[in-house]
């Protein structure tokens, strides 16, 4: 009996040990610490909203911001969370850190997160054209991601919505050239630009002289500014050249030629684009509509007889890319005109970044 008792004790001990470690492994598997870097900004706030709406499996939220914001509170799923520092976030070892804190911050801190084994999804332009870093729109090229990719770039907002609309057409007809003009919301600039537009509108409508910051050199209300970001030596702005270079990288085709004009307009949310696309092969307009109707992340709104077409007000707080005004360019063969609209804070920034995190989590590529 004594031997049996001892044997039973060892067996019971081993069973307990194995069960304990099994439970620990299961708990670790279910744990999803998520850091949002730049959590107090316009895009960071939208990231928190989208994480909640899409029920991303966050078991512990780590809101991160600059030192001056540490200790402030943000809300997520009805709870208040205190903002922490970069170093504290790294020490907490989240599975993923979603950055929206500007290029210089990302260049300094994203490698430190990555060195700690944390996967970074970065919304700035810092890493987009780095050949070693993937630039991802999940509907198009999420398949390139691996567990070794610790810094993943989120593309420019205006590029994202354009390539989501173009990708299904490129697969069938082969894109030769894209001419795009954008009509971009002030929310793409940030809170200061929103305050400027509000202030100018109050002054115009009510005649009240309110104090407001100037995000732009010129008034934006009742005006259009044909400059987004700084001018380069070739006469194009940085925003325009982002669209040129990012399109080829995302669509994995350096032969696509792109030329862009990017414009800021007095709209509060949502970017619009006039896109003229020349294909290698001819197309049937009915087939183009069918391709877009079945494309992931695309909503076709194209009924001229009923005056139905995409507008920023329709895309507001939605994750899809809306496409309409489809028609042949009658000035040359194999060329299509289209109108593309999307919420720049959602699909153009927050939603795309979180869709990347969703893909990584689904494929077991985090941690």
Q: Kindly list the catalytic residues.
A: 157, 271
Beta strand pairing status for 119-122 and 96-99? parallel
Q: Can you tell me the distance from the alpha carbon of 97 to that of 111, in angstroms, rounded to the nearest whole number?
A: 11
64 in Cβ contact with 84 (< 8 Å): yes
Q: Are residues 329 and 336 in contact, defined by beta-carbon separation less than 8 angstroms?
A: yes
**CA pair distance 287, 299, nearest whole angstrom:** 15
Cα dihedral 335, 341, 347, 348, rounded to 10, equals: 80
**CB count, 10 Å around CB of 51?**
24
As given in the structure block, the two tokens for residue 196 are 């400027």
């Amino acid at each position: 009996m004594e031997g049996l008792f001892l044997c039973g004790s060892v067996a019971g001990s081993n069973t307990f040990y194995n069960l304990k470690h099994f439970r620990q492994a299961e708990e670790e598997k279910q744990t999803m610490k998520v850091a949002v870097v730049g959590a107090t900004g316009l895009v960071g706030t939208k990231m928190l909203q989208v994480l909640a709406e899409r029920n991303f499996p966050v078991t512990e939220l780590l809101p991160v911001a600059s030192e001056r914001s540490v200790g402030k509170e943000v809300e997520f799923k009805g709870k208040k969370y205190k903002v922490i520092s970069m170093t504290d976030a790294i020490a907490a070892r989240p599975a993923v850190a979603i950055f929206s804190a500007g290029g210089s911050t990302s260049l300094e801190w994203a490698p430190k997160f990555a060195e700690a084994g944390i996967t970074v999804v970065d919304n700035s332009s810092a890493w987009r054209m780095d050949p070693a870093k993937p630039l991802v729109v999940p509907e198009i090229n999420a398949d390139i991601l691996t567990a070794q990719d610790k810094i993943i770039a989120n593309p420019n907002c205006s590029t994202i919505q354009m390539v989501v609309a173009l990708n299904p057409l490129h697969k069938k007809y082969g894109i030769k050239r894209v001419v795009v003009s954008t009509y971009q919301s002030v929310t793409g600039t940030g809170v200061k630009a929103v305050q400027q537009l509000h202030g100018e509108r109050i002054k115009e409508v009510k005649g009240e002289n309110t104090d407001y910051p100037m995000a732009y050199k010129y008034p934006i209300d009742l005006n259009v500014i044909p400059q987004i970001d700084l001018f380069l030596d070739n006469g194009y702005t940085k925003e325009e050249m982002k669209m040129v270079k990012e399109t080829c990288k995302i669509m994995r085709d350096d032969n696509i030629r792109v030329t862009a004009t990017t414009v800021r307009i007095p709209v509060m949310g949502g970017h619009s684009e006039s896109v003229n696309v020349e294909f290698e092969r001819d197309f049937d307009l009915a087939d183009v509509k069918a391709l877009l109707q079945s494309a992931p992340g695309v909503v076709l709104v194209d009924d001229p007889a009923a005056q139905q077409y995409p507008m920023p007000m329709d895309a507001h707080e939605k994750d899809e890319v809306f496409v309409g005004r489809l028609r042949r360019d009658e000035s040359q063969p194999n060329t299509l005109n289209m109108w593309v609209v999307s919420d720049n804070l959602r699909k153009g920034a927050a939603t795309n970044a979180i869709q990347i995190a969703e893909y990584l989590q689904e494929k077991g590529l985090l941690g």
